[in-house]
Structure 1
Amino acid sequence: MTGEQPVLVVGATGYLGGQVVDELLSRGKRVRALVRPASDAGKLEAKGVEVARGDMLDVSSLVAAMTGVDAVISTAAGYTRNDRNAEAIDTFGNANLAVAANLAGVPRFVLISILTCDQTPQVPHFWHKKLAEDKLEELGVPFVALRPGAFFDQIARMGGDPFEKGRIIWLGSKNIPLTFVLSSDLAGYLADAVEADIAAGERIDIGWNRPLSMLDAAGLASGHTDKNVRVMATPTGVLRAIGKITAKFAPLMVDMASMAAWFDTGRYVADTRRQAELFGPVPTPEDAISRLAERLGH
């Protein structure tokens, strides 16, 4: 990689992708963003980002966007959109990215995957990431996959500012430890992975230095406010019952119930040794939650 050509970010208009763009720019990288034809790219263009119009369901547009880049970072996730194209993005779309990267001769493809995705065929959006990894490998694309735990900053704010509201909304058991990350940390790791000394095909767990139950996380959060932060958890059995009722018109609920059941096994835990080797000291839960509180003004 020469470092002179742009890095293409797929999913640049999303929550994580936008942070990846900023991290790349802060490192002096040229950035190109894949943006769907109907999406507003004004904020990206104002930052000096080159916009390539295209769609994950259109291979030719992906090849055009990937031609002449130093690397591709994909943060795209159809399941978070929960629209009629969600499953197509996570299946055909990810396969198309691999095909296009192969055709364009991309030197490095950095994929945002999911922790333990290779163990969870029962959780659709986890398994789709595993299949995306496999497709890149099958086609011989030089890729690395970062497999983060659950995004604590997104989860903690599902019911509003948790420090202000005094509550965190959760799915499944609040007593089972699991791995969390902050999306801001992950964005930095994704940007670093463009040039890091990583072998093609590596899958790297990303998380905090120890798993944490949501109840314990709420306890740490309580230290940054005058409120006792409570956990309002919906049991996995209830989620499954809702999923059965809503399966035809809201399939995401079935997926979420399956994910919560996996969390409840206690096996959603990262091995962060390789993370530490590549990206430096692994954040502690105390540090991460403190930084989130500061970011939210507490």
Structure 2
Amino acid sequence: MTEVLLTGAAGFLGQHVARELLAAGARVRALSRREETDRVLAALGATPVRGDVNDPESLRRAMAGVSCVFHTAADTNTWRPNNDAQTRTNVGGAQNLVAAAREAGVSGFVHTSSVSAYSHLVHGMLREDVPQRGGDSWINYERTKFLAEKTVRESGLPFIISQPAHILGPGDTRNWSRLIRLVDQGKLPGVPPGVGAFADVREIAKAQVRAWQLQRYGESYLMGGEQATFLDLITRVGVMLGKKTPRRATPAFALRAYAQVLYGVSLLTRRMPEITPEGAVFTCKELWVDSSKAIAELGYRQTPLDSLLADTIAWMREQKMIG
């Protein structure tokens, strides 16, 4: 039976990847930093192994006997005081994993990158042949995702790279679910003016495992979904929850100014604000993603947004996250 090492297995995407790998007959060795995470991983059917992407020796131990690595762990924060830690995890962690994988002689490395590797500096439709500009970005998350992907591409390992857009779906406790909770509580302060491409976490996980099964090494895949303005997204959420939502989006200049004020306050309080200047850039941007390569080669499916939201909301209700 094939042995796979999975990072970020207790995370939103990682849990779904673990399930897909197990369903495909793989044995999943899940990197874990804490005992409480061990219980989550064991419940999935994975085998927890103590380790950290920032601890090279722990990676060498975890990698022994593994044939493939699935790397989903990442630091997604957008608050500048956390930039150094984010760089260590996203870039240093990728470098450590690649080094351990080379030493162990693994036969494949499946890396979860992001559309952010292309950067907000790129306009228009994203396709895999569009030059990435994350290395030029002032936003640390974009820069670190670009550098991590570059590390994998230059590693000499047989690699597959997935580049998801905005990820939605059951199991989300910290990302878009926060916005859904604000709508449910009637506390949403406003709606950003941007456009998103909303991808189903379950379909991303399936496509990653499918790419590995097909040995699509040397390839990268953008994984987007139905395009919608954030106003449209929030309106649909409000209808499903039976809650009132704003009728107009907040102008971009106002959102950016508000984020700058909150950032200044956060430096005094040392607490991450509800929106950062970097976050304002992301939510004011129009993101357009062409997923045709993943659809044609991996059978990737773009779940209709209404179905995706309904599944997410149903899961959140089961978890008592919303009323």
How far 1:139 moved relative to its partner? 1.9
Equivalent pairs, count:
290
Task: Please report how far the alpha carbon of residue 295 of structure 1 lies from its aligned counterpart in structure 2 after TM superposition.
Answer: 3.0
User: SS of 1:258's equivalent?
Assistant: helix
Q: Which residue of 2 aligns with 1:213?
A: 229
Following TM superposition, by how much is the alpha carbon of 1:291 offset from its aligned partner in structure 2, in angstroms?
A: 2.5
Q: Distance in 2 between matches of 1:187 and 1:166?
A: 32
SS at match of 1:178: strand
Task: Tell me the SS of whatever aligns to 1:274.
Answer: helix
Question: Offset of 1:152 from its aligned partner?
Answer: 3.7
Distance (whole Å) between structure 2 residues aligned to residue 164 and residue 245 of structure 1 = 27
The one of 49, 52, 56 equivalent to 2:53 is 56
CA contact (8 A) 2:30 2:48 kept: yes
Say yes or no: does 1:198 pair with 2:216.
yes
Supply the distance in 1 between the matched residues of 2:188 and 2:307 (Cα, whole angstroms).
18
- The structure-2 alpha-carbon separation of the partners of 1:247 and 1:139, relative to structure 1 and needing over 3 Å to count, comes to farther
Label 1:296 to 1:195 Cα distance change in 2 as closer, same or farther (>3 A).
same
Runs of 5+ consecutive residues of structure 2 not aligned to the other structure: 119-132, 318-322
For residue 122 of structure 1, give the secondary structure of its aligned residue in structure 2. coil
List per-residue Cα deviations over 1:212-261 (Å, max 9, x = no partner).
Answer: 11111122224423333448968122113322443587596699422431
Q: From the superposition, tell whether residues 188 and 280 of structure 1 become closer, same or farther in structure 2 (CA, over 3 Å).
A: closer
Residue 97 (structure 1) aligned with residue 97 (structure 2): yes
Counterpart-to-counterpart distance in 2, 1:81 and 1:18: 23
Determine if contact 2:113/2:163 at 8 Å carries over to the other structure.
yes
1:78 aligns with 2:75: yes
Q: Distance in 2 between matches of 1:249 and 1:103?
A: 44
The structural deviation recorded for 1:81 is 11
Which residue of 141, 149, 157 corresponds with 1:125?
Answer: 141
Name the CA distance, whole Å, in 2 between partners of 1:167 and 1:252: 18
Q: 2:111 aligns to what SS in structure 1?
A: strand
Question: 1:109 — aligned with what?
Answer: 109
Q: Is the 8 A contact 1:62 1:97 kept in 2?
A: yes
TM-score normalised by the chain length of structure 2: 0.77
The TM-score, its normalising length taken from structure 1, stands at 0.82
After superposition, give the CA deviation of every residue in 1:34-70 in whole Å (9 maximum; x if it has no partner). 1126654123234442222222122222122223223
Residue 21 of structure 1 is matched in structure 2 by: 18
**In the superposition, relative to structure 1, how do residues 261 and 280 fare at CA in structure 2: closer, same or farther (>3 Å)?**
closer
Do residues 184 (structure 1) and 205 (structure 2) align? no
The residue number in structure 1 matching 2:307 is: 287
Supply the distance in 2 between the matched residues of 1:127 and 1:39 (Cα, whole angstroms). Answer: 31
Deviation per residue, 1:97-156 (Å, 9 max, x gap): 121122222211111111041333222112211111111222211111111112345443
Question: Which whole-Å CA distance do the structure 2 matches of 1:35 and 1:55 have between them?
Answer: 7
Mark the runs of 5 or more structure 1 residues left unpaired by the alignment.
Answer: none
Query: Which deviates more, 180-189 or 160-169?
Result: 160-169
- Give the AA of the match of 1:241: V
- Aligned partner of 2:165 in structure 1 is 149
Q: What amino acid maps onto 2:71 in structure 1? A: S
Note the aligned Cα RMSD (angstroms). Answer: 3.2
Residue 10 of structure 2 corresponds to residue 10 of structure 1: no
- Write out per-residue CA displacement over residues 6-61 of structure 1, whole angstroms, 9 at most, x where no aligned residue: 11111112232222212222333211111126654123234442222222122222
Q: 1:64 to 1:169 in 2, by over 3 A?
A: farther
Q: Are 1:43 and 2:63 an aligned pair? A: no
Q: Work out whether 1:236 is the aligned partner of 2:256.
A: yes
Who is 1:276 aligned against?
A: 295
Per the alignment, in what secondary structure is the counterpart of residue 160 of structure 2?
strand
Q: What is the rounded CA distance, in whole Å, between the counterparts of 2:12 and 2:294 in structure 1?
A: 22
Matched residue of 2:240: which SS?
coil
* Contact map agreement 1:67 1:106 (CA 8 A) in 2: no
Deviation at residue 157 of structure 1 after TM alignment = 2.0
